Every structure is written in C-alpha cells, then in structure tokens.
Amino acid sequence: MRILMLGVNYRTAPVELREKISFDGDRLDHTLTGLCERYQSTQIVILSTCNRTELYVARPDGKPPNAAQLIEYLAAMGDVDAALLTPVSIQREGEEAVRHLFRVAAGLDSMVLGEPQVLGQVKRAYERAAACGAAGPAMHAMFQQAIAAAKRVRTQTGIADGRVSVGSVAADFAKQIFDRFDDKTIVAVGAGEMIKLAMRHMIKIGPGKLWVINRSVDRARALVDDLGISASTGGARAFDDLDQLLVDADVVLTSTGSRKPIIDVKRFRPLVRRRKHRPIFIVDIALPRDVAADVGQLPNVYLYDLDDLQKVVARTHEQRSGELEQCEQIVRDAVSACYEQLQNRDISELIRKLRELMHDISEVERSRTLRKIESSDAMAIPDAVREILKEHNHRMINKILHMPMHQLNNGGSDVPLGFYAAALRRLFGLDDSQESKPSSATAPAPPGPQRHDPPSPQL
C-alpha cells in the first residue's frame, strides 16, 4: 500500500477557502463513503478541524487516487475551482505522510504549539472513518500509533504546560482590547468543545455577566452548569435572544456548526444604533465562519477570526521552542517504528502473493503435464507419483524463491527496504488490489465497495 496525505491548513490557505472544504457530521460520512465507493480497496481518514482539512489515504500500489484526483474531489465537494485549491494544498507520501500525521496529533503543527485539542480531533477522525468502514489495516496502525506517540509527547515533555489553545489566545486577545472586565458582558454563541475551552479562560478574567446561547437551550444549560456560572452572573439563553444579547455584549465568542454565517451585516447593522455605538469585540473561532467578514467594517466592531488569531501566537511558539526538540525526537522514533511496521506488512503480503502465484503456475503446469502423459500412454498415473511431482515442484519453488525472499525480508544497507518489493510488483504484476493468476485461471468478478472492519483498539 502507498500512503498519501493531501490537504490544506492555516499556513497554506485562508479561512475563506478552508471553510468551504471543511467536513463534519453527515457531510463527512458522505465524503468518506463516496471516496471509498469511487476508489475501491483504498483506506481513507479525513481530519477536518478549524485549522486544517487533510485526507490520509492508503491505496494499492500504482492505483488511484493520486493527489490530483483527490484535489478534484475536494474542490467538487466544496464547490471551488480546483485551480485555486492546487497551489495551496500540501502533499506528503510514504514516510513523510506518516510523519506529518504524527506531528499533527502531537500538536507540533498546530497554530498554537502543543495545543491539546487536536489530539482529540485526530482520534475522532479515525474513529469516524473506522465506523464507516473506510479505515483499513494501514490506517489503523498509523492512527493508533500516532495517538499513542502524541500522548507520550504530552506526558514526557512540557510542551502542553500553560495556556495553549485557540480559546486561551482569544482570551489574551480580549485583554489587549479592554482594560477591565468586571463591568463587561461576555456572550458565548454555541455550546461545543471550542466554546467550552474558550469560556474557561474567559471566566478567569472575571466578567460582570456571562451568557451562553445555543439553538438547544438544554445544551446551553449543561455548559453553564459545567462551567459553574451562577444565576447572579449569567446563565443559558434561547437562540431567539441572540439580537438582544448582541446589543448587551462587550465580547462575543462564537463557534457553531452552521454552514452559513449566523451574524451578517443585515442582522447587525440595526443593532449598532441600539448599542449606542459602544465597541464590541467579536472572536469567531468557527469554521465555517459564524460572522460574515463585512460585519467587521461596521463602526466600533472589532472582528477577529482564526486567521487573525494566528498573527498573535508567535510568542507562544518562542516560549515553547525549548521543548520542541525533545518532542520531535519522540515523534521521529515513533514514525520510524510505524513506517517499518507498515513496510513489513507490505513485504509479508507481497511474499504471500508471490508464493501463491508460483504455486498456482506450478499446479497448472503439473496438471497439464500429467494429462499429456496419460493421453499419450493411455495409462493412469498413480497418486503416489502425482504427489512426488507436486512435492518436487514445491521444493523447486522454495529454492528459487529463497534468495528473493531473503532480500525482501532483510534488504541491505545500501538498498531501501521497498526497492526489491517495487521491482517484483512491477515484474510479476503483484499489485495490492488483485491477485495475479496464471493465464489458465478464471478471473474473478470485480469486487463491490469494500468495508474495512476495525479491530478493537486500545486508545
């Protein structure tokens, strides 16, 4: 199997493009299913967060999809021009694709170095793909080992010490806008994990009022209870109260699952006069964005999205750079072990296929020879003789394959492990998606869409 990673992230693509190719819920399941049906025998995991959309693919050697086909598929799903997506996409193959996943899971490729949320996002992406039958053996190995390595990075280094999340950076940003918060009202729109994390930091700066609004009031109440917000300082509100809360708010944090903006100029312009031109600080940490970009052009509105937050996290990276080399070493060791395991699995499967091919050819030719002898001499060949010939052929095959098998299993100091494997695949037609058979064998019918049943991982 060939490992491929393709995607975009906060470094390569602006938020207005990332939000178009973000996936969650049914849209994610539909995309996984569609890719698996189009590219049979392919294993796929899609990681989609507020900062990245990445496809991890294990595909049969020499078979689609390639990077260009994945870009075309993503572009079609997001209704964007593939020509816009191609120059901002990142592509990794083989060990580099594995390394990229491990660094992402460990928070080493995050906007905020060492952020803990991405590990949970990686785990959920893998579990979702496994539940859909899209994650096969290679993806199981990659993601389970990436998750384990990320946990070691967090427990064996200080990379996660202190406040390292988009939510914490948003709180720091708010403190740069306002001198005090005891007379300020903070409104959280949404009740998901990002809002929860951000609100924990906002509570620490001591706001006068703190409200949580959500389409499900029950979820808003659950978050209020979880955060320990008392009735005297705020509480949960229905989504119908959004306009009034936007009038009262000094700080708004928003992160919902809406595919379209919930706050646009048409909605907010009339509220500016009702606010008596008081400044409002809006932090939109949703992807797709909850607040239309032109809202930030209205008077006294200070709107910041994920790309804006990226600009203020450089010092966090500087503070944590001392831990970085230790983290990278843990990742390097884990990647090396994982990729060797993936290659060994490929080698074992190749050896099995090569032996099977040789034995199939041997059986076809042995049967043909026996039939010729019987027809020419008009005599039946004893079963004992048949077995002697069969054993002779098997011993000959084993002797012929001994040295190739040794090289495949051990390689050489000056020869990459996969070099001989690639050559044998090409020479004998041993691709990963179908068995090579002798010419007299009947070809099997094409398989239908394949599901990869997951093992029972210990995560």
Active site residues: 50
Q: How many Å is the maximal CA-CA distance in the chain?
A: 110
> What pLDDT, on a 0 to 100 scale, did the predictor assign at position 169?
75
Confidence of residue 435 (pLDDT cuts 50, 70, 90): very low
Determine which helix (DSSP H) or strand (DSSP E) holds 126, and give its type and residue range: helix 117-132
> What pLDDT, on a 0 to 100 scale, did the predictor assign at position 457?
42
CATH superfamily of the 2-160 domain: Glutamyl-tRNA reductase, N-terminal domain (3.30.460.30)
Residue 382 DSSP class: P
> What pLDDT, on a 0 to 100 scale, did the predictor assign at position 350?
81
The whole-number average pLDDT for the span 345-362 is 85
Poorest-pLDDT segment among 32-41, 112-121, 381-390, 415-424:
415-424
Distance between CA 254 and CA 191 in Å, rounded? 9
Q: How many CB atoms lie within 10 A of CB 449?
A: 12
The whole-number average pLDDT for the span 368-380 is 81
Arithmetic mean of pLDDT over the chain: 86
* Backbone dihedral angles phi then psi of residue 333, each to the nearest 5 degrees: -65, -45
Q: What percent of the chain has pLDDT over 90?
A: 55
> What pLDDT, on a 0 to 100 scale, did the predictor assign at position 439?
45
Judge whether residue 442 has pLDDT over 50.
Answer: no
Cis before 288 (ω within 30): yes
Judge whether residue 82 has pLDDT over 90.
Answer: yes
Render the burial of 263-282: b for 16+ CB within 10 Å, e for the rest.
bebebbeebbeebeeeebbb
pLDDT, tens digit, for every residue of 247-292?
Answer: 999 999 999 989 999 999 999 999 999 999 899 999 999 999 999 9
Domain boundaries, the chain: 2-160, 166-314, 345-370+382-389+413-437
Of residues 333 and 370, the one with the higher pLDDT is: 333
pLDDT, tens digit, for every residue of 223-247?
Answer: 999 999 999 999 999 999 999 999 9
pLDDT, tens digit, for every residue of 183-220?
Answer: 999 999 999 988 998 898 889 888 999 999 999 999 99
Structure tokens, 183: 């007379």
- Which of left, alpha, beta for 40 (phi over 0: left; psi -120 to 50: alpha)? beta
> What pLDDT, on a 0 to 100 scale, did the predictor assign at position 317?
64
Structure tokens, 155: 């427990």
The architecture (CATH level 2) of 166-314 comes to: 3-Layer(aba) Sandwich (3.40)
